[in-house]
Amino acid sequence: MGEQVVTPYSVSARNGAVDYARIVSDFGCKLIDPQLIQRLEKLTNKPAHPFLRRGIFFAHRDLESILDAYEQGHKFFLYTGRGPSSESLHLGHLVQFMFTKYLQDAFDVPLVIQLSDDEKFIWKDISQEECQRLGRNNAKDIISCGFRLERTFIFSNLDYVSGALFDNVLTISSFLSSNAMSAVFGLNAETDVLGKLLYPAVQIAPAFSTSFDDVFGEGIKMRCLIPCAIDQDPYFRLSRDLAPRLKLYKPALIESRFLPSIEAGDGSGKMSASSPNSAIFVTDTLEEIKQKLAGAAVESVLAYLTFFEENDAVLEEMKADFSSGKRSLEDLKNDLSKVLWEVLENLQQLKAEVDDKILSEFMRPRLIR
């Protein structure tokens, strides 16, 4: 199989196995070491999330600076997002929001969530109205993860990119050449539509607090921490290069591995909404989960257990029993469907309570600082 490619628009791996050590060295981010995790636990007075303990969130940029500032009493804000390309989130997206919720609770900080419906309009054959509808539906999944209304603002780019945010988008775009965009994102400046070249500025701008004068207060300068999978790194590498020119803080990142696709080994390194057979969606029933897992690769089953079985001892026992032959792959799949259903059933119950009124509240610009 060909070379490994990891950009926000394409993840392909040699023989389906992503080489994370190579990404870290190519991208120039840092590994999260045990000392950093200990420091985080000490500062938040909470045990580290299993995603941290298990090396799922494994890399970062400038997390130390965020912790230094926090220790001195300076708060930061969290920024993450979703490009609504499907009716609902899949488990890979859920990983991001579960972890973001842990960070919001552990540090008690505000959070902005971008719905990049504009991006999906440019990249996919979907109307703007449909992208917005998908975005609102995805936002209900996101809210069911338990985010606190008084600390959380969710925005649709099609609705909200104006005012201070648009000022920053424009300033950022004035620093970026088409050639640089092509090189960083694997685009073609000659043949790709203009919207693809412009979009990165729209994803970069919310990493700066001055984009949100109605949410943080006018001109407020706050540090930003971005939880995301490592494919999003190119946007924020750029944001960090631009920060000194904007006289703003460099955004920091905390970055995860990918949840693999169900069948793995298919050349794509990650579960993706763009290939629905690769994905378990948060709206799936127990029956659907079982059906999808029937064709799952061993490595995906083990990976999903590592992501979603919260209890360390139970997880170790499952893995050990599988290695020794005491548990078959069928047994593991049964265990896994129970583990996943517990997470999804709870989420689906919470989503049933998220009506349009609650959604509108989360999407109403208001101070969350």
Interior/surface letters 290-299, b for 16+ CB within 10 angstroms, e for the rest: bebbeebbee
Give alpha helix (H) positions in the chain: 20-27, 34-44, 50-53, 63-71, 91-107, 117-123, 128-143, 157-160, 163-175, 178-185, 194-204, 213-216, 233-246, 286-294, 298-308, 312-324, 329-352, 356-362
Shortest spacing between CB 324 and ligand ATP, in angstroms: 30
Shortest spacing between CB 289 and ligand ATP, in angstroms: 16
Select 270 or 333, whichever has its Cβ closest to ligand ATP. 270
Measure the CA–CA gap between 147 and 18, rounded to whole angstroms. Answer: 31
Shortest spacing between CB 84 and ligand ATP, in angstroms: 7
Per the DSSP assignment, residues forming a β-bridge with 152 are 111
Q: What angle do CA 266, 54, 52 make, to 5 degrees?
A: 110
Of 301, 365, 367, nearest in space to 334 by CA: 301
Do 306 and 54 form a contact (C-beta atoms < 8 A)? yes
Shortest spacing between CB 269 and ligand ATP, in angstroms: 8
Shortest spacing between CB 235 and ligand ATP, in angstroms: 10
Measure the CA–CA gap between 241 and 185, rounded to whole angstroms. Answer: 15
Among residue numbers 91 through 110, which ones bind ligand ATP (CB under 6 A)?
Answer: 92-93, 95-96
Select 90 or 164, whichever has its Cβ closest to ligand ATP. 90
Select 97 or 164, whichever has its Cβ closest to ligand ATP. 97
Please count the residues of this chain forming the interface with ligand ATP, following the rule CB under 6 A.
19
Shortest spacing between CB 311 and ligand ATP, in angstroms: 22
Select 164 or 196, whichever has its Cβ closest to ligand ATP. 196
Shortest spacing between CB 59 and ligand ATP, in angstroms: 12
Select 171 or 283, whichever has its Cβ closest to ligand ATP. 283
Which residues lie below 8 Å from residue 175, measured CB to CB, with a gap of 6+?
242, 245
Shortest spacing between CB 226 and ligand ATP, in angstroms: 9
Span interacting with ligand ATP, options 30-38, 81-89, 203-211, 287-295, rule CB under 6 A? 81-89
Neighbour count for residue 159 (Cβ, 10 Å)? 14
For residues 254 to 273, the per-residue mask of contacts with ligand ATP, x marking binding by CB under 6 A and - elsewhere, is: --x-xx----------xxxx
Does residue 232 touch ligand ATP according to CB under 6 A?
Answer: yes
Per the DSSP assignment, residues forming a β-bridge with 252 are 225
CA distances from 87 to 17, 132, 231, 286, 316 (A): 28, 11, 22, 18, 35
Per the DSSP assignment, residues forming a β-bridge with 32 are none
Span interacting with ligand ATP, options 67-75, 89-97, 235-243, 308-316, rule CB under 6 A? 89-97
Residue from 177, 274, 277, 311 binding ligand ATP (CB under 6 A): 274
Select 272 or 337, whichever has its Cβ closest to ligand ATP. 272
Residue from 62, 70, 85, 237 binding ligand ATP (CB under 6 A): 85
Tell me the HSE value of 203 on the side-chain side, using a 13 A CA sphere: 28
Which residues bind to ligand ATP, rule: CB under 6 A? 82-83, 85, 92-93, 95-96, 228-229, 231-232, 256, 258-259, 270-274
